[in-house]
Structure formats: structure tokens, C-alpha cells
Amino acid sequence: MSRVGPGWCARGCAVARSVDTWIPGVLSRALLRSLCARTANMNVEERSEFVRTAAKALYVNGQSTGHTVAATERLADVLGLRTTLLLRWSEIVLQVDSAHGALIRLEGAAPTGIDMNRVASVMRAIDELAAGHLTPAEAGAEIETASHAPPAPTWLFAIAAAGGAAALSVIYGVYHLAAAALIAGSGGMGAVLRRRLAHLSDNAFLQPLCAGLLAGVVGALAVRYQLNSSLRLVALCPCMILMPGPHLLNGGIDLIHGRIHLGASRILFAILVVVAIATGLLCGSALLGSDIPVEPAGRGVPLWQDAIAAGVAVAAFSIFFSTPFRLLPWPVVVGALAHALRWCVMTGLGFGPVGGAFVACLTVGLILTPVAKHWQLPFAAIGYSSVVSMMPGVYLFRAASGAAQMTTDGGASAGLVSGTLSDGVLAAGIVLAMCVGLLLPNLVLTDLGERIARRKWVMRRT
């Protein structure tokens, strides 16, 4: 609920004559008078449409629920509205209280996209409006433009996918240059296919399904012509770049804050995307009589090779999520350092994959939480892109393949059952460790920042 009522301009200007600050830390006395004059020509419907557009732009492009609600309330305060924003999986509801009763705006909006550039642009426009650097009309135009900003061009998207898939194959120990080239080609073709499908259908599961199918077919061809090892990296690595990590993180944040329905919806969406990827991968492999064996997930690589490949993978995912290029060094450098730290604690201290992922993600959360706050970026996107190389996609897909092999008429051997359960449990443990490692410092530092800000405001008022 916003703090300022519908008669804001009339009452606010009167109060501003006697107090130095009306909205804590945002509106000074002179600025309040200026904004009163600027919004005088906007009726309630126009201002509520302004707020709804901004809320939708943040919500559908990956901003967390808490930051979306906070930014919307701040914008409503500046525009003199008293609002309540309700976010559901497929819609947003904005209720505006006015002298003529409640005005309710309902808008379809599913938070399936991730675009950090759009989110940063909308947050910046709200900040500049609140600071008096933009008029409401100028801020509205900037938000509308940011809402429809194009993603990375297809050629760059394809190059990033190819580079990201190849980098992940290096981390998992690819041996042959031909296999790495096939992995890059499969990842790039999958990216082009996804962009083409996006113009044909709005179904969020069609793109990962078809990209996984393509990767499975290419992987099976590599097996047939003996261009692949038993690790099946030609099939697996192009699928790993499809993992929906930001939705898992945003869902975890929602669950921790008690938004059970929205948090569960986000996590269920991520699980269904993984199921779509695995289904496409296994079907593509089966079309040519191949499978994904349940075997060790990778080979060890030197530290320098591990860190460089991780940096390339992070850069690729940052392009997927439309990270502003001026901010690209942050996730790349932090991601490479985090992966090097994971390598060190696993090799030198004897930590397992779960412990190594937790330590690395905890470090990323401590570093990138203030970075995300300063640059107004969605933490789930920048945090996940920095640790994407640690996602246990290989374990998940091997577990799915093992489960499929158990349904054959010949029955399941003890080794197959043991390997499948081991891969599934390890994958779940790594995902949980990554989520806790990333979210714990984010929640603690965010809460600490809010407490400090409230204390400073109370001290100014007293």
C-alpha cells in the first residue's frame, strides 16, 4: 500500500511548507511542489495506467516480486496515487483508490522472460522522476520505450549460445576439437531455432523442447559417427544453456517471503521447462537409436582452463539476459573467480560438488547483492548468470535418461538404479546449495540495508 493519499497534490504542497521531507529520502519540499505542478494535468486514469505499465515491465522481465512492488509503490507516491499491487503468475492487479471510489486495472502478465536491460531502464526512469530530473511525460515515454526494447540480435544470441555450450563442454572435460565444434554448432542452431519459434508461438515450453530435440539428434549423430565419448557432451552441453535458473531463484525468494502461490508457480514453471528440455533430448537421441548413459558426469580440468571457460559461459548467459554491456564485466569476473574458488575448495579442501557450489554461490551473493542494488538489476538474473557453470544439468539429464531406461522390457540393473538415484540426489543437492548460497547473503544484506535506511530517516525526522 502506498503511503500517500489521492489528494496528494493539495495536501502535500501545504505540508511541504512546514517540513523538510515528505516522502522519506525521496521528495524534498521544493521538489514536492514541482511534482505537484507537473502532475496537475494528469487524471487518475492516466496516472494509474502509467503505474501499471511500469509494474508490468518489471514483472515480466525478471525483477523480483519485492522490488517490483516497492518500485511501483514509489512511483505511485510520486504521482499522488494510493495503490495496491497484486502479482499472480499470469496477471497483475492494480487497485487505485480515488475520491470517486476504487479503480481496478487487470493485465495479463506471465513472468517468463528475463531482460536486465529493460528492468534497469525502467528502474532508472522511476528514480529520475522521483529525483525531479524527468517530467512524468518524459518518464512515461522512457518506460514505454524500455518495455519494448529489442533483445540481443539473433546473430549475437546464436554466437553466445555456441560459445556458452562450448565453454561448458570444456569445464566438463571435452577431449576432441571436433566434439567441441559440434557442441558449439548445436548450441548456435538451437538458439536460431528458438528465436524462429518465438515468432510462431507464445508457448513457453515449445522452445526448450525443440532445442533439446535438436541437441539430442546432433548428439546421436555424433555417437553414430564416433565423434562423441561416453560422456555424451555433444548432446548434453547445448541443453545445459537452456536451464531456467532465474525462475528458481525468484521462486525461492517468494517462498521465503511467504508468497507461496507465486513462489510455487515460478518453481513449477522452472521444473516444467527442465522436463521439456529432457523430453526433447531423450526423444532426439532415441530417434537415431542412441541414449544417455548413466556414467561419471565429467573429467577434471586445470584451474586456469576451468576459470576461463566459466567466464565465457557467464558472458554468454549475460547476453541471453540482455545485460547492459557496460555492466558485463561484473558477472564475468565474479563468475570466473567463483568457479576458481569452487575448484580450489573441491581440489584442495576435499569438498564435494554440493559443498563447492555452496561456498562459490555464497561468495557470489555477497559480492553481487550490492552491485545489483546499485545498478537496479534483478539479482536472480545477474546472480544466476554468474554461477550458471555450476548448474547440475548433466546430472539432471543423466537421471532422466536412467529413469527412462528403467521402463524398458528388460528391466533395470542394480547399477542403473544406483546411478540414476545418485545423479538425481546429487543434482537436487547442488541446486539447493546454489539457491541457499545465493539467496542467504541477498536476503541478509537487503534486510540490513532497509533497516539502516529506516534508521537514518528516523534520525533526520527527530
- How far is it, in rounded angstroms, from Cα 443 to Cα 48? 30
- How far is it, in rounded angstroms, from Cα 78 to Cα 136? 9
pLDDT value of position 33:
46
Using only the alpha carbons of the chain, give its radius of gyration: 24
Average pLDDT over residues 357-375: 94
User: 10 Å Cβ neighbour count for 399?
Assistant: 24
Average pLDDT over residues 431-443: 93
What's phi and psi for 151, nearest 5 deg?
A: -75, -175
pLDDT value of position 13:
39
Average pLDDT over residues 391-397: 90
Using H for helix, E for strand and C for coil, what is the string for the chain? Answer: CCCCCCCHHHHHHHHHCCCCEEECCCEEHHHHHHHHHHCCCCCHHHHHHHHHHHHHHHHHCCCCHHHHHHHHHHHHHHHCCEEEEEECCCEEEEEEEECCEEEEEEEECCCCCCCHHHHHHHHHHHHHHHCCCCCHHHHHHHHHHHHCCCCCCHHHHHHHHHHHHHHHHHHCCCCCHHHHHHHHHHHHHHHHHHHHHHHHCCCCCHHHHHHHHHHHHHHHHHHHCCCCCCCCHHHHHHHHCCCCHHHHHHHHHHHHCCCHHHHHHHHHHHHHHHHHHHHHHHHHHHHCCCCCCCCCCCCCCCHHHHHHHHHHHHHHHHHHCCCCHHHCHHHHHHHHHHHHHHHHHHHCCCCCHHHHHHHHHHHHHHHHHHHHHHCCCCHHHHHHHHHHHHCCHHHHHHHHHHHHHCCCCCCCCHHHHHHHHHHHHHHHHHHHHHHHHHHHHHHHHHHHHHHHHHHHHHHHHC
Q: Which residues are paired to 23 by β-bridges?
A: 27
**Under 8 Å between Cβ of 384 and 365:** no
pLDDT value of position 369:
93
Average pLDDT over residues 271-295: 92
| Measured torsion, CA atoms of residues 37, 38, 42, 47, in degrees rounded to the nearest 10 | -120
pLDDT value of position 446:
87
pLDDT value of position 41:
66
Task: Convert the pLDDT of each residue in 38-85 to its tens digit.
Answer: 555 678 888 889 999 999 999 999 999 999 999 999 999 988 888 899
pLDDT value of position 203:
93
Whether pLDDT at 31 is above 80? no
Report pTM. 0.87
213 compared with 8, residue with greater pLDDT: 213
Q: How confident is the model at residue 346 (pLDDT cuts 50, 70, 90)?
A: very high
Average pLDDT over residues 304-332: 93
Single-letter code of the amino acid located at 348? G
Task: Convert the pLDDT of each residue in 153-200 to its tens digit.
Answer: 999 999 999 999 999 999 988 888 889 999 999 999 999 999 999 999
Mean pLDDT of the chain: 86
pLDDT value of position 15:
33
Q: How confident is the model at residue 437 (pLDDT cuts 50, 70, 90)?
A: very high
Q: Average the pLDDT over each of 29-38, 166-175, 331-340, 391-400 and give the range with the smallest value.
A: 29-38
32 compared with 318, residue with greater pLDDT: 318
